[in-house]
């Protein structure tokens, strides 16, 4: 008899851009598991705290809070002066 497999989710990605969009990776917030039930929210070298505030270092929080932070931050992202709304509007106008 073989041992039972364990599947563990270690990362979520939250973005307002479709999966196939070429700029999606720049406009994606990641929720990453750090162990022992703790999660952090960030993008590249930018991190977010439980009050949706940018931080210099990761802040550990529970999964429910981390996903809430990511869902609030994702539509407000600005990359190279462009907002998510700018990118989506530009795509719609082509």
Integer CA distances (angstroms), 48 to 18, 55, 63, 93, in order: 22, 5, 14, 32
E strand or H helix at 38, and its extent? strand 38-43
d(CA 50, CA 41): 9
d(CA 63, CA 8): 13
Listed by start position, the domains of the chain span 11-92
- pLDDT of the chain, 94 residues: tens digit per residue: 899 999 999 999 999 999 999 999 999 999 999 999 999 999 988 999 999 999 999 999 999 999 999 999 999 999 999 999 999 998 764 4
């Amino acid at each position: 008899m073989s041992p039972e497999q364990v599947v563990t989710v270690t990362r979520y990605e939250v973005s307002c851009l479709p999966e196939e969009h070429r700029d999606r990776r720049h406009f994606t917030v990641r929720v990453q598991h750090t162990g022992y039930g703790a999660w952090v929210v960030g993008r590249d070298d930018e991190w977010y705290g439980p009050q949706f505030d940018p931080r210099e270092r990761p802040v550990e929080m529970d999964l429910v809070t981390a996903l809430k932070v990511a869902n609030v931050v994702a539509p407000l992202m600005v990359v190279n002066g462009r907002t998510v709304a700018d990118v989506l509007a530009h795509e719609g106008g082509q």
